[in-house]
Amino acid sequence: PTVGVDPVSRRELWEILTHQVRDKRTTLLVSTAYMDEASRFDRVVILYNGHVLGEGKPEELIEEARGHVFHVAVPDWSPRKLEPYLARVPGIQDAVGEEDGVRIVAEGMSPPPLPEELGSPRTDPVPPRFEDAFMRRLAHGGPGGIRKISSSPRDLGWQDKKTGLPDGAREESIVIRDLTRYFGSFCAVDHLTFSVRRGEIFGLLGANGAGKTTTFRMLSGLLLPSSGELRIDGQDVLGSYVARIRGRLGYMSQKFSLYSQLTVRQNLTFFTSAYRMGGRRQKDRIAEIEEFFELVP
């Protein structure tokens, strides 16, 4: 299994595995959720909901999607806005945002008619990938498959929470300048500078040991920086009462950071209490989460 391995470690892992197969003639059985890894295999079995959707050589499965994959670009439409819109169009089996447009998998050998409000979109055929073949198999509704792939924000229970203000009008909620943290002589975070505007989704991307967790710990007041400036909603984290700052932050641990000896409800109660949420407000919020994630028996 390779799930949960960061990109740099994945590359190193595959160098080791490739060496084992090529030089030592080792038979390798890999379980993975990464489609790019699956395309490396000599033979693959596609599983979904306990059923086999397909079996064979990756290149043969990929060939099934040839002629069904297109790149769609619409002037003045960002990929983030266009992707969920195209996902609702009949005849489109999958839609994935890319840097300069949206990659779609069409049911037929040509793109389906697109809504007039998109104007004159540019649609170009592109070579298929293993992921495209998987989504076609999934959409065909075979054993374990589904007829309609839910991809829109409404279907996923997610809505864009942006303020709707132009970028220049949204104030900066988080400001970090030359943030540095040493552990002895080791520099975990080296003069990091960035800012996050209100209503913006901002991501820190990096391999294990890149400094992501250390940065978040400094943001939440759990760890003091060695030097630099850190302000949240205009307040200096270093000069303010830490609990006051922490109360304005929402933090969600990954699964391995939760307490396995506690139930889901107990974990929710613990984390909401850590943010000084109690009484009716705490009960209502936990009930909302239970309903949203379908946790109620």
Q: Length of the chain, please?
A: 297
Angle at 84 between CA 7 and CA 62, to 5 degrees: 55
Tokens standing for residue 152: 């829109």
Three-state secondary structure of 117-131: HHCCCEEEECCCCHH
Residues paired with 246 in a beta bridge: none
In the CATH scheme, what is the code of domain 167-251? 3.40.50.300
Tokens standing for residue 31: 């379980």
- Other CB atoms within a 10 A radius of the CB of residue 132 amount to 25
Burial (CB count <10 Å: 0-12, 13-18, 19+), residue 151: middle
The domain ranges of the chain are 66-130, 167-251, 256-292
pLDDT for the residue numbered 116? 86
Smallest CA-to-CA distance from 69 within 45, 96, 44 is with 96
The answer regarding whether domain 66-130 maps to CATH 3.40.50 reads no
CA separation for the pair 135, 69 (Å, rounded): 11
- pLDDT per residue of the chain (297 residues) written in tens, 0 to 9: 556 677 788 888 889 988 988 888 889 898 888 888 888 899 999 998 888 988 999 999 999 999 999 999 998 888 988 998 899 999 999 999 998 899 999 999 998 998 888 888 999 999 999 999 999 998 876 544 444 444 444 443 334 444 444 444 458 888 999 999 999 999 999 999 999 988 888 888 887 788 988 998 888 777 889 999 988 888 787 765 566 666 677 666 665 566 778 888 898 888 788 767 889 999 999 999 998 888 887
Tokens standing for residue 81: 């806005």
Quick check: 174 and 168 in contact, CB under 8 A? no
Quick check: 26 and 20 in contact, CB under 8 A? yes
Which pairs with CB-CB distance under 8 Å and at least 24 residues apart come from 75-79?
75/119, 75/120, 77/118
Q: Judge whether 66-130 and 167-251 match in fold.
A: no
Mention every residue, 6+ apart, whose C-beta is less than 8 A from residue 137. Answer: 46, 53, 54, 61, 64, 145
CA separation for the pair 171, 259 (Å, rounded): 36
Tokens standing for residue 238: 């270093």
